Amino acid sequence: MSAKYPFAKSLVFDEPTIQRRIVELSGDIHRHYSGLVTETSPLVLVVVLNGAFMFAADLARALADRKLPVRMDFICVSSYQGGTHTTGEVRMLLDLRRGIQGQHVLMIEDIVDSAHTLDFLLKLFMTRSPASLKMASLLDKKAARRIPLRVDFVCFDCPPEFVIGYGLDFAERFRELRDIVVLKPEYYMKAPAAKL
């Protein structure tokens, strides 16, 4: 671990574990939506950028293997702004390309932590009258909740530590890792973000 990831305190989920679990979760999602969506009215996968890009890419391909009709759209929101704690203020940087009225929508997140972001997105999308609205998240850090929301489809419960990799960043670094690891606290306590 230390040779591969000198900035990591511990390994949380390795690549094979993540990939296996995504295939399993795609089965749950397929079972839930298979009677509801069709080629002419596909499931709308809303990828919440930036963090969810890698999870969404693997989940979408797992759903394609199961032949579930989907279309993908993207929204970009930000609230951590380079730190390890939410600012509590969610800023929208990019909105969906198309409307979602009357359509089944599944939001895809990398992590639900305080749930400020999920709360913001639920409120925003409910004003647009989807047929249904659910959330899939790679990680669920339940111990950190400030707003009591539950996630519909979860890959893994997350320990109450700051994790990076597989889409998750600290100050825009480490998203490219294949595995999910805990960042050594000295990296965010001492190192200026620009020097990481």
The rounded distance, in Å, linking the Cα atoms of 196 and 190 is: 10
Residue 115 binding result from ligand 7HP, ligand PRP, none, given CB thresholds of 5 to 8 Å by partner type: ligand PRP
Residue ranges in 112-141 that form contacts with ligand PRP under rule CB under 6 A: 112-118
Which option in ligand 7HP, ligand PRP, none does residue 116 bind, with CB closer than 5 to 8 A by kind? ligand PRP
CB of 1 to ligand 7HP, least distance (A): 18
Residue 63 to residue 82: CA distance in whole angstroms: 32
Q: Are 97 and 45 in contact (CB under 8 A)?
A: no
Give min distance, CB of 61 to ligand PRP, in A: 20
- For residue 34 the two structure tokens come to 């298979």
Catalytic residue among 14, 28, 110, 113: 113
Residues 73-112 that bind ligand 7HP (CB under 6 A): 80, 111
Task: Tell which one of 12, 56, 75, 163 touches ligand 7HP (CB under 6 A).
Answer: 163
Centroid of chain to Cα 176 = 14
Beta strand spans in the chain (E): 8-13, 43-49, 70-78, 91-94, 104-112, 132-140, 153-157, 163-164, 180-183
Find where tokens 């600012």 sit. Answer: 87
Which stretches of the chain bind ligand 7HP, using CB under 6 A? 80, 111, 113, 141, 162-164, 168
Residues annotated as catalytic (active site), given as ranges: 113
